[in-house]
Structure 1
Amino acid sequence: MELELHSLNAMRSMEVIDILTGTKIGFIKDFKIDCDENKIVALILPGEIKSWFAKEDEKEILWSDIVKIGTDVILVKAKDKEKVNANNV
């Protein structure tokens, strides 16, 4: 099996889709990285902007919930609201 490599910059242009609902969740805004373990822990996606002055909530998707990284989409398995939750990261 050939190893697939993706740059972080290329991953930011991929749309994230929940395979259980078919919902388009959005595009990656940032990554949460565990520097002690040298690995990506989660994807950070922008949330909905509530008003001009309010800080937007961000969605966090755990790396373990990623099913497949394709050429132009990232498929995730977000079982419930706890998996794709709003965080102030």
Structure 2
Amino acid sequence: MISSSDLREKEIINLIDGRRLGFVADIEVNLEKGRIDALIVPGPGKFLGLFGKDNDYIIAWNEIKKIGIDVILVELKNTIVTNDEEEKKN
């Protein structure tokens, strides 16, 4: 079993292009089903997840390929989702 604090300590690596995406800043949880739906990583240009662009990496649970000791390997084809696009989905 892995805790949310454990997830925050692991670096996210995209297997598609080998890019380091950063560290988990937030977790999207489905309370009805009791599961994690997505990991959210601050996008490029953000400092401490606060300052910078409004683009984040939103990594759906099915895009996670392996959770290792130090890193989380993901397969992201569309790497950046803007917060505006995410709000339109909801």
Match of 1:28 in 2: 24
- The yes-or-no answer on 1:6 pairing with 2:16 is no
CA offset at residue 55 of structure 1?
6.1
Identity %: 36
Equivalent positions of 1:61-76 (< 5 A) are: 61-76=59-74
Structure 1: unaligned runs, 5 residues or longer: none
- The yes-or-no answer on 1:17 pairing with 2:13 is yes
- The yes-or-no answer on 1:41 pairing with 2:37 is yes
Which structure is higher in helix share?
2
Match of 2:56 in 1: 58
User: 1-side partners of 2:27 and 2:38: how far apart?
Assistant: 6
Aligned length: 82
| SS of residue in 1 equivalent to 2:5 | helix
Question: What's the CA shift string for 1:17-65, capped at 9, x where partnerless?
Answer: 001111001100010001111110000111233xx97663322110110
TM-score, normalised via structure 1 length:
0.78
Which amino acid counterpart does residue 66 of structure 2 have in structure 1? K
Structure 2: unaligned runs, 5 residues or longer: none
Cα RMSD, aligned residues only? 2.4
